[in-house]
Amino acid sequence: MSKKYALLQQNETIEFVEMPASHMYQLAALNQRLHKEVSKLTASGVPALPSFVAEFDNLEIIHPDYKLHNGLDYINRLEQTFASIQEKEYPLVSLLTEIRALQAQLEQWYEEEEALE
């Protein structure tokens, strides 16, 4: 199956995430939605989010300080981060629902990939 690669940036830190090509647009849309909504959260300890900077069809990381992150691992970390927020005012469940929907789709995609191998 074809894959795409996202470049995410938070301040001076960059991160590369590998996603199934069929799901990359969902990662981009989720990132935009989270950026739009995170400022509405009133809880303390709201995480800073990286910005979705670019998408690539091919990627070769040369610098040893940078690693390629699996898309499901990235979404799992994102889900854990948002699930730990103690929000009282904003309906955080709607954001978690979107994260978990993509998480479930990726889990299914990776299971199907393993079955084909």
Alpha-carbon span 108 to 103, nearest angstrom: 9
Give the DSSP letter string of 48-79: P--EEEEEES-----STT--EEEHHHHHHHHH
Averaged confidence pLDDT in the chain: 92
Summarize pLDDT for 16-68 with one digit per residue, the tens: 999 999 999 999 999 999 999 988 888 888 888 999 999 999 999 999 999 99
Report whether 71 contacts 23 (CB < 8 A): yes
Looking at residue 104, its pLDDT comes to 96
| Burial of 74 per CB tally in 10 Å (0-12, 13-18, 19+) | buried
Alpha-carbon span 93 to 65, nearest angstrom: 35
Alpha-carbon span 58 to 40, nearest angstrom: 36
Percent of the chain having pLDDT more than 90?
74
Mean of pLDDT values over 75-92 = 89
pTM of the full structure: 0.91
